[in-house]
């Protein structure tokens, strides 16, 4: 059974960089066939896809966030990470990592982690 777990600071100051890591267990990122995504949900709002990475390092980002987002992968640790720069209060959200199959959509999700941007 594939499991994903987000980790990282729950509080980030404005203008700083938000950094989160997703650790995958029960399956290898290196095995291919899946895209590893970050998705966020503002309090009381809908879901917003941030971007994804393939095990090879290929990435694709939401155009609305592209200038501030970097997603990277560490296959040796079976982890992938999100960096979001120059954060503001508008970036306060629950951040999820998820596995995406081009055939089945997002089939496995982490539990989510709340990141608050505040001084």
Partner 1 sequence: DIQMTQSPSTLSASVGDRVTITCRASQSISSWLAWYQQKPGKAPKLLIYKASSLESGVPSRFSGSGSGTEFTLTISSLQPDDFATYYCQQYNSYSLTFGGGTKVEIK
DSSP 45-70: S-EEEEEEE-TTS-EEE-TTTGGGEE
One of 2, 11, 47, 89 touching partner 1 (CB under 8 A): 47
Tell me the two tokens of residue 59: 């990435």
**Are 60 and 10 contacting, i.e. CB atoms less than 8 angstroms apart?**
no
What is the Cα Rg of the chain in Å?
A: 13
Per CB under 8 A, does 27 bind partner 1? no
Per CB under 8 A, does 111 bind partner 1? yes
Per CB under 8 A, does 65 bind partner 1? no
Per CB under 8 A, does 76 bind partner 1? no
> Segment near partner 1 (CB under 8 A), from 15-23, 26-34, 73-81, 104-112?
104-112
> Segment near partner 1 (CB under 8 A), from 14-22, 57-65, 67-75, 82-90?
57-65
| Distance in angstroms (rounded) separating the CA atoms of residues 39 and 13 | 20
Nearer to partner 1, 19 or 60 (CB): 60
């Amino acid at each position: 059974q594939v499991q994903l777990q987000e980790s990282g600071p729950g509080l980030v100051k404005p203008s700083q960089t938000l950094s989160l890591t997703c650790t995958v267990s029960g399956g290898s990122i290196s095995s291919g066939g899946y895209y590893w995504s970050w998705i966020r949900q503002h309090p009381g709002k809908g879901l917003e896809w941030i971007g994804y990475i393939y095990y090879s390092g290929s990435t694709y980002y939401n155009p609305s966030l592209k200038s501030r987002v970097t997603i990277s992968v560490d296959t040796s640790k079976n982890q992938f990470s999100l960096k979001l720069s120059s954060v503001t209060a508008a970036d306060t959200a629950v951040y999820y990592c998820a596995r995406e199959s081009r055939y089945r959509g997002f089939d496995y999700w982490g539990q989510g982690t709340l990141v608050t941007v505040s001084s």
